Structure 1
Amino acid sequence: MQEVLKRSEVAPEHCWNLNDMFADQQAWDQAYTDLKAMLPEAEQLKGKLNTAEAVKQAFELEDRVSMQIERLYVYAHMHQDEDTTNPTYQALTQKAKKLSVDVSQALSFVTPEILSLSDAELEQLLEAPELQAYRFTLQEMKREKAHILTEAEEALLAQVGNLSQAPQTIFGMLNNADLKFPNIIDEHGNEVELTHGRYVQFLESPHREVRERAFKAVYSTYARQKNTIAATLTANVNKNMFYSRVRKYPSVLEMSLYGDNIPKDVYTNLIDTIHESLPIMHRYMELRKKLLGVDELHMYDLFAPLVEEFNMDITYEQAKQIVADGLQPLGEDYLNSLNKGYNEGWIDVYENEGKRTGAYSWGAYGTHPYVLLNHKDNLNSMFTLAHEMGHALHSYYSDNALSYRDAQYTIFLAEVASTTNEALLMDYLLKKSTDPKEKMYLLTYYADQFRTTVFRQTMFAEFEMIVHARSEAGESLTPQDLSQIYYDLNVKYHGEGMVVDQDIEMEWARIPHFYNSFYVYKYATGFSAATSFSKQILEEGQPAVDRYLGFLQSGGSDYSINILAKAGVDMSTPEPIREAMSVFENLISEMEQLTK
């Protein structure tokens, strides 16, 4: 694919078929009108949600309305993503968005009204035969009830909502708009402006002096703003403490995990088990030093290419076939579903003028999932196809097995299916590779995923835990404190064989995830769970495949931790993380063998 095509020029077989959601614009308009007509029904139920029959009616209305607005919105938005400059679909998306707000307002009374019931009344609803399909929803409401305040207090907290966004908003403005990096000299001797996007490219440069210049320029810029950014991060920690105390949680960490009902042990286990596996990470750092041929490994060498770019030209048709071959261990049923996705209009393949960048899997309950790609003929795009089809088939299996409400899985589970696909594909590629250069290229690609997704995100998670624990104990968090905590963690995670440059102490100042507190650990747990699944599937065969397909069909019908445990991955124990670490260790051993 050389020149970028206009949307109208893209071959139909490379476009997704959104007509599976609505046959045409007229059908969309009709559904929109029907939904608007449904909303007054909510008004009839207000103030009456104290019997099982009325609660059942409210839940059924919620489901009907939610499914309809989801389909209206997804259809409009996906059309807009095909060509973001198309005014018709910009308008349609806005129209769906506005109706979505109306829907939320119309149904906003349901949860508070049910929660105003006494515990005994809630217990009766839980046992009512006509509400058994909604048992999990009611159980969740009952669990949340302990942290819901009086109506007046909740109204007050809602008013504080805008204020609580301030730390994140201020950091976003400072980081994206006001912070200006200096110019640096690139490998061609040209003076170029350093930006967020270019920084990543410079760190991946094979020219060491370029990497060092970019690294020092970025962190000296943050160091000049350290007082402001420390104040912003501390304000975010204080905001979290305010909410955890007002809502009666033992700590901010426990408040953050409560929504997904994740035990605190899952978080602390991750950190402890990664600590126990740090010697493997340190071995990898030694190997990096050797492969780069440097006397000292510095922080700015962590993203440098370890092997010369191995050119893997993989067309979309080849990528589809290789992904299917790699997923063979998942069995016939999974492969048939994968081929359905390939052949029945699920996937939008190539870039075209105005198309949204990146990749995602999305859809609406009641129709099959969809996948947006911007395929380039390379290894990365092939892994993206495997990843997004993992998400799509997770939704496909759970939607077909469960009712609308139970099919919605949590973010804690979302990355597991997509990453399991990637792990199986990588295993297949490594096993069939005969070229030592290709093998080394694949091994470094995979080892770096462990480094960035498991070790780095766990280090971030540990930083958040220490910072919040200190604040909750009434200790200070000066810019110096934050830098010291962060620097010490880097020394611990990267080991003796590495020069931990002082500049890295300012990295905490550029991580936007710290404003979405206690979130990043999910990257590490998701990757570990997926690696554990793939290892079990490859070693045990059919029994592990059956458990895994059971996981895909469970959607959000139980708590995430229970769904994974039933499928053989118990995240409340160190086992899945240890299994992932044994895969990482094997990779390092293979790389060491190849470099002898």
Structure 2
Amino acid sequence: MNTVLKRSETKQEHRWKLEDLFPDQAAWDKEYAEAKQLMSKVAGFEGKLADPLQLKQCFELEDELSLHVERLYVYANMRHHEDMADPTYQSLSDKSKKLSVETGEALSFITPEVLSLSDEELASFIEHPELAAFRNTLEEMRRQKGHVLSKTEEMLLAQVGNVSQAPGTIFSMLNNADMKFPKVKNEQGEEVELTHGRYIQFLESKNRDVRREAFKAMYETYGKMKNTLAATLNANVTKNIFYARARKYPSVLEMSLFGDNIPKEVYTNLIDTIHDHLPLMHRYMKLRKQLLKVDELHMYDLFAPLVDEFKMEISYEEAKQKVKESLKPLGENYLNVLQQGLENSWIDVYENEGKRSGAYSWGAYGTHPYVLLNHNDNLNSMFTLTHEMGHALHSYFSDEAQPYRDAQYTIFLAEVASTLNEALLMHYMLERSTDVKEKMYLLTYYADQFRTTVFRQTMFAEFEKIIHEKVEQGESLTPQELSKIYYDLNVKYHGDEMVVDQDIEMEWARIPHFYTSFYVYKYATGFSAATSFSKQILEEGAPAVERYLGFLKSGGSDYSINILKKAGVDMSSPEPISQAMSVFESLIEQMEQLTKN
């Protein structure tokens, strides 16, 4: 099908049913009016929160109002995503966004007012029987208290907020708007301008000259701006140190982990355990060199296809069937909910004119989750389906088991359920694959996920740790110093089988995540936790499934690290990362075996 259908031409059974949220526009308008009315009551509590009964009523009003606003916002924006050009839902989306901002402003006095209570008062509120439903909220406020400053200081920090965005904004402008790359030759020998979007396409080319030329052109361009880019990264590190010291944290790393209450060991364990398993990465590099049939493996060979293009045609109906089969290890209860989602219009399946690109899972508390896809009949789309249904079922189970305030899980946990589904689907596909080419295609697809999500993100995490510690110890970061640290890490991670081209020393200059400091480690921990869960489920069966379902039902009712620990994945120990590495090792062994045959 070459033409993209209009929204009105898509089949009903392939569209999500947003009527489950609001039957019609009139119902939305009615709830909007109710939310506005509730908002007008909020100010009446200001200055009264030292009374536990007033605080209880205020929290209850906050929950009621927030839930209304969430429902209105989710519905308006999902309608907008069906066809971004439709003016009716453009304006409804804007209306819901304004309401959301107004609500945030109206409620903003609550936390500072509660934190102005004395330690004794706050402790008595936490134990107060009338406030039992809000114990987690109050304990979290108490935990934050040591890092909240006086009213005047907080106002000053708020004013610094705009200035503090400067390093990231300047980098983004340089990287996306001002940076111009030269032309390089594509596979047809035509001169094409290099862009961020085309760079990976060039690196995936079968033609090595194309890969090499794009790689060199990319890093030479960054090299010409190394002083400016080093200054922006330096400014970002300095800004982080300013905030850490102002808010009385021992280090930037500890400040960054504090929000999710993650112990520092989780971060250091990840790096140390990956160091212990670097020989596996080196072994994979050796295998890559062998499969590409090259004398030397270079940095620009990392994305080159290892298997001649293998086309897997998988229709949506077939994808649903395979996903269901692959998730059987999760038991009857999970499968029943999955079936509901697949058959009862939770999913918006195909692309249509004006529809938002990509895929996501979303929804509002009290109604089932929804999934947006832009499905193509291929392997990638099947993995996207199981990934998004992983998110959806995580939300379903946590909403069902938890009160509104405790249902939302953190970013630290968010990718676990989706990645676990992918791991089980991959296991299912590999078990049943009889075609050598297909099996090799699947194995390389999976092994590269380990390389990019676990090893590469951990290398990024280590780079961030090193550069922050240097500046915290009073050293400066010259472009030469940044490049040396980054180059040495690449040598360490890729090993002797890889020729680490000097140009890669400039890669630090193009990674946007370095401006959202100490975030990337979550990709590696989430992937490792999911891989550990899948290993336990496939090996132990029922007891592991029970623990995993407990994890899905926990939402945000406890700190992330505790929720995982109860379910049998202790991220403060090296164990889950070691388990993930044993899965990676088995992939390499299977690939080595296939190359011998």
Unaligned runs of 5+ in 1: none
- Find runs of 4+ consecutive structure 1 residues off by over 3 angstroms: none
1:253 is aligned to 253
User: Equivalent residues in 2 for 1:169-568 (5 A)?
Assistant: 169-568=169-568
Kindly state the Cα deviation for residue 54 of structure 1 after the two structures are TM-superposed.
1.1
Could you tell me how far apart the structure 2 residues matched to 1:187 and 1:289 are? 21
Could you tell me how far apart the structure 1 residues matched to 2:186 and 2:106 are? 57
Question: Which has the higher mean CA deviation after the structures are superposed, 341-350 or 526-535?
Answer: 341-350
What is the letter of the counterpart of residue 480 of structure 2?
Q
Kindly state the Cα deviation for residue 416 of structure 1 after the two structures are TM-superposed.
0.3
The DSSP-based 3-state class of the residue aligned with 1:595 is: helix
- Please list the CA deviations of residues 389-446 of structure 1 after superposition, one character each: whole Å capped at 9, or x if unmatched: 0000000000000011100000000000000000011001101111111100000000
User: Equivalent residues in 2 for 1:556-595 (5 A)?
Assistant: 556-595=556-595
1:96 is aligned to 96
1:27 is aligned to 27
Could you tell me how far apart the structure 2 residues matched to 1:345 and 1:146 are? 47
Kindly state the Cα deviation for residue 571 of structure 1 after the two structures are TM-superposed.
0.2
Question: Which has the higher mean CA deviation after the structures are superposed, 148-157 or 129-138?
Answer: 129-138
What is the letter of the counterpart of residue 399 of structure 2?
D
Could you tell me how far apart the structure 1 residues matched to 2:284 and 2:583 are? 13
What is the letter of the counterpart of residue 410 of structure 2?
T
Could you tell me how far apart the structure 1 residues matched to 2:45 and 2:365 are? 25
Q: TM-score, normalised to structure 1's length?
A: 1.00
What is the letter of the counterpart of residue 31 of structure 2?
A
Could you tell me how far apart the structure 2 residues matched to 1:186 and 1:201 are? 10
Kindly state the Cα deviation for residue 263 of structure 1 after the two structures are TM-superposed.
0.1
Could you tell me how far apart the structure 1 residues matched to 2:33 and 2:234 are? 48
Kindly state the Cα deviation for residue 44 of structure 1 after the two structures are TM-superposed.
1.1
- Please list the CA deviations of residues 287-313 of structure 1 after superposition, one character each: whole Å capped at 9, or x if unmatched: 000000000000000000000111110
Could you tell me how far apart the structure 1 residues matched to 2:57 and 2:344 are? 36
The DSSP-based 3-state class of the residue aligned with 1:16 is: coil
What is the letter of the counterpart of residue 365 of structure 1?
Y
2:60 is aligned to 60
- Please list the CA deviations of residues 539-591 of structure 1 after superposition, one character each: whole Å capped at 9, or x if unmatched: 00000000000000000000000000000000000000000000000000000
Kindly state the Cα deviation for residue 130 of structure 1 after the two structures are TM-superposed.
1.2
- Please list the CA deviations of residues 63-85 of structure 1 after superposition, one character each: whole Å capped at 9, or x if unmatched: 11111111111111111111111
Could you tell me how far apart the structure 1 residues matched to 2:102 and 2:31 are? 15
Kindly state the Cα deviation for residue 524 of structure 1 after the two structures are TM-superposed.
0.0
Measured on the aligned residues, the alpha-carbon RMSD in Å equals 0.6
Matched, 1:73 2:36: no
What is the letter of the counterpart of residue 335 of structure 1?
L
Could you tell me how far apart the structure 1 residues matched to 2:568 and 2:262 are? 17
Matched, 1:115 2:121: no
Kindly state the Cα deviation for residue 136 of structure 1 after the two structures are TM-superposed.
0.7
Kindly state the Cα deviation for residue 252 of structure 1 after the two structures are TM-superposed.
0.1
Could you tell me how far apart the structure 2 residues matched to 1:2 and 1:428 are? 32
2:131 is aligned to 131
The DSSP-based 3-state class of the residue aligned with 1:518 is: coil
2:147 is aligned to 147
Kindly state the Cα deviation for residue 61 of structure 1 after the two structures are TM-superposed.
0.9
Could you tell me how far apart the structure 1 residues matched to 2:595 and 2:51 are? 71
What is the letter of the counterpart of residue 391 of structure 2?
H
What is the letter of the counterpart of residue 319 of structure 1?
A
The DSSP-based 3-state class of the residue aligned with 1:29 is: helix
Could you tell me how far apart the structure 1 residues matched to 2:316 and 2:244 are? 49
What is the letter of the counterpart of residue 270 of structure 1?
L
User: Equivalent residues in 2 for 1:1-16 (5 A)?
Assistant: 1-16=1-16
Could you tell me how far apart the structure 2 residues matched to 1:168 and 1:490 are? 24
Could you tell me how far apart the structure 2 residues matched to 1:332 and 1:569 are? 23
Kindly state the Cα deviation for residue 110 of structure 1 after the two structures are TM-superposed.
0.5
What is the letter of the counterpart of residue 197 of structure 1?
G
Q: TM-score, normalised to structure 2's length?
A: 0.99
What is the letter of the counterpart of residue 452 of structure 1?
T
Could you tell me how far apart the structure 2 residues matched to 1:365 and 1:431 are? 37
Kindly state the Cα deviation for residue 326 of structure 1 after the two structures are TM-superposed.
0.5
Could you tell me how far apart the structure 1 residues matched to 2:339 and 2:514 are? 40
Could you tell me how far apart the structure 2 residues matched to 1:487 and 1:54 are? 58
Unaligned runs of 5+ in 2: none
The DSSP-based 3-state class of the residue aligned with 2:220 is: helix
What is the letter of the counterpart of residue 12 of structure 1?
Q
What is the letter of the counterpart of residue 227 of structure 1?
N
What is the letter of the counterpart of residue 561 of structure 1?
I
Could you tell me how far apart the structure 1 residues matched to 2:439 and 2:358 are? 27
Could you tell me how far apart the structure 2 residues matched to 1:529 and 1:28 are? 40
What is the letter of the counterpart of residue 343 of structure 1?
E
Kindly state the Cα deviation for residue 3 of structure 1 after the two structures are TM-superposed.
1.7
What is the letter of the counterpart of residue 331 of structure 1?
G
Kindly state the Cα deviation for residue 99 of structure 1 after the two structures are TM-superposed.
1.0
Q: Quote the sequence identity (%).
A: 73
Kindly state the Cα deviation for residue 9 of structure 1 after the two structures are TM-superposed.
0.5
Kindly state the Cα deviation for residue 102 of structure 1 after the two structures are TM-superposed.
1.1
Kindly state the Cα deviation for residue 269 of structure 1 after the two structures are TM-superposed.
0.0
What is the letter of the counterpart of residue 592 of structure 1?
E
Could you tell me how far apart the structure 2 residues matched to 1:23 and 1:34 are? 17
2:84 is aligned to 84
Question: Which has the higher mean CA deviation after the structures are superposed, 579-588 or 48-57?
Answer: 48-57
What is the letter of the counterpart of residue 522 of structure 2?
K
Kindly state the Cα deviation for residue 476 of structure 1 after the two structures are TM-superposed.
1.2
What is the letter of the counterpart of residue 507 of structure 1?
E
Could you tell me how far apart the structure 2 residues matched to 1:371 and 1:486 are? 39
Kindly state the Cα deviation for residue 2 of structure 1 after the two structures are TM-superposed.
3.2
What is the letter of the counterpart of residue 152 of structure 2?
A
- Please list the CA deviations of residues 200-252 of structure 1 after superposition, one character each: whole Å capped at 9, or x if unmatched: 10111111100001100100010011111110000000000000000000000
Could you tell me how far apart the structure 1 residues matched to 2:397 and 2:37 are? 32
Could you tell me how far apart the structure 2 residues matched to 1:2 and 1:548 are? 42
Could you tell me how far apart the structure 1 residues matched to 2:253 and 2:449 are? 26
- Please list the CA deviations of residues 2-28 of structure 1 after superposition, one character each: whole Å capped at 9, or x if unmatched: 321011101011010111111111111
Kindly state the Cα deviation for residue 345 of structure 1 after the two structures are TM-superposed.
1.2
Kindly state the Cα deviation for residue 55 of structure 1 after the two structures are TM-superposed.
1.1
Kindly state the Cα deviation for residue 40 of structure 1 after the two structures are TM-superposed.
1.7
What is the letter of the counterpart of residue 490 of structure 2?
N
- Please list the CA deviations of residues 313-348 of structure 1 after superposition, one character each: whole Å capped at 9, or x if unmatched: 000000000000000100111010001101111100
The DSSP-based 3-state class of the residue aligned with 1:350 is: coil
Kindly state the Cα deviation for residue 51 of structure 1 after the two structures are TM-superposed.
1.9
